[in-house]
A and B are shown apart, each in its own frame.
Chain A
Amino acid sequence: MNPEELRGGLPGAADLAGPLEIDLGRVAGRSRHRRRVRYAAVGCTSLAVAAAALVGISHLGGQPTRVVQPAAGPVATPSASASSGVGASSGQTRRYTCGGTIAAPIDPGTHHDTVTVSISGVRRAANGAPLVTYTVASTSTLHVVKNAGRPRVVVLKDGKIVAGQDLSADASHPPVSGKPADFITIDPAHPYSATLAAPIGAPCGGAAWTDLWAPGAGYQVAVVVSDWELSTPARTPIYTPGYVNPDPVIVVSAPIAG
């Protein structure tokens, strides 16, 4: 068979097809249905991606899920003798990493008049780590956590974290115990003062704790107070496994005197 013969014969064979018999309404209806299904699938996929992104952000360096709502009652304000918002800068996270900065306190001015946190002393532990004594005073009744390691102590130099950093990517400080928080009640007549546990681990970059105390070294200790540490009975927090670093509401610092 040659191509020309085929070319000439095919239109004749196509004539046997007859007229097109289709239901236009059915075609339009099926098209509409498929389009709706497609839009629904695209919508669901978008929602799933957005949800996954939100979950990912909250777990990977974003703000942790908060167990305690920001204080509706009395919280805190930095004392006049201590600086607040140490090292605050943009792009901060709730991670405490070597060379990083402490996140800016959230909502720092809301309860400015009710709570005062101050560092009343810094002394040297046997291994050279700083032992910080802090005081919380309040003009109204307040519950302050007294579990070991709370609030957190971080060592800074030029605003950068040099000790007291997170031990690993998901480490809490201190390691989560799973036990309920232990609170003490304070009021205007009874401020609370306690010596906080020294930062765990070793200083960054292979430095020694004793380096902190060298004359003119310029190190500072910072106490990072979150709404974990200041609460009311109605909002008593629980130590929850996986709860890493709560949002700071007050950061106070003091120099380490050599």
Chain B
Amino acid sequence: MAEWSELLSELVQSRGSELKRYGFLLCGDRTEASDLVQDALVRVFTHPHRSWTVGDVEGYVRRTMLNRFLDLHRRRARLAQLLPRLVQKPTVPDHGAASAHRLDLLTALDSLSPRQRACVVLRYYEDRSVADVAERLNASPGTVKRHLSDALVRMGKALDIQREAPVGGNK
């Protein structure tokens, strides 16, 4: 088996779940998260390097996932502009018996734009600095701060609406 194939197996076995979690937070859908990871793995392993370690590759895969996620949403937005009637609304993810709070948070994340969502995931899930997030998104730190601030406001409003909805329903 080629060296890169072994590295691929090792990466998926040791870090696969973590990559899926990262992808899930980015796109909010399990199937799409798996596709995102798979696409990123294919792209990264198309140009394998002998000196790679699992850590190196994971970094590349995460970066590729982020770029792919933003690209996909950019394309979908364009398609939605061109063919508004043909594009289906995003399906509501099926989270089974997950806790209400987690679902609320995911729903609140859905209210964000793709770039805002990416900023939130990189800053608060991956715990990266604002400068690092800016570098990854090819944006200025000021833009990232603005995205984060707007995202927190939006998510707060979305959570408030969700919390108020059952109350209103009981009345």
Contacts and interface: CB of A to CB of B under 8 A. Distances in A.
Contacts of B17: 17, 19-20
Contact of A6 (B5, B45, B47, B155): B155
Contact of A9 (B4, B45, B47, B105): B105
A80 interface: no
Contacts of B5: 28
Nearest to A26: B38
Interface string B1-36: 000110011001000110111111100001001100
A3 B12 CA distance: 31
Contacts, number: 105
A10 B124 contact: yes
Interface in A1-50: 1-3, 6-7, 9-22, 24, 26-28, 30-31, 34-35, 38
Given A28-B5, A35-B46, A20 B37 contact: yes
B46 A12 contact: no
B96 to A, nearest CB: 8
A105 B39 CA distance: 62
B133 interface: no
Interface in B61-109: 95, 98-99, 101-103, 105-106, 108-109
A198 to B, nearest CB: 65
Given A18-B30, A22-B12, A27-B45, A12 B20 contact: no
A4 B82 CA distance: 40
Given A20-B12, A24-B8, A28-B45, A1 B156 contact: yes
Contacts of B24: 14, 16-17
Interface in A184-242: none
Contact of B124 (A3, A18, A35): A3
Contacts of A38: 46
Determine the main DSSP class of A at the interface with B. helix
B106 to A, nearest CB: 5
Determine the main DSSP class of B at the interface with A. helix
A11 B125 contact: yes
Interface residues of A, number: 28
A22 B38 contact: yes
B54 interface: no
Contacts of A22: 12, 16, 34, 37-38, 41
B131 interface: no
Contacts of B152: 1-3, 6
B8 A27 contact: yes
B16 A20 contact: yes
Nearest to A37: B46
B53 to A, nearest CB: 18
A7 B124 contact: yes
A27 B45 CA distance: 9
Given A7-B124, A17-B30, A20-B16, A12 B99 contact: yes
Contact of B22 (A14, A24, A35): A14
Given A13-B109, A15-B21, A31 B42 contact: yes
25 contacts: A1-B152, A1-B159, A6-B120, A7-B124, A10-B120, A10-B125, A11-B125, A12-B105, A13-B106, A13-B109, A14-B125, A15-B102, A17-B21, A17-B23, A17-B24, A18-B30, A20-B16, A20-B19, A20-B37, A22-B38, A27-B12, A30-B42, A31-B41, A31-B46, A35-B46
Interface of A: 1-3, 6-7, 9-22, 24, 26-28, 30-31, 34-35, 38
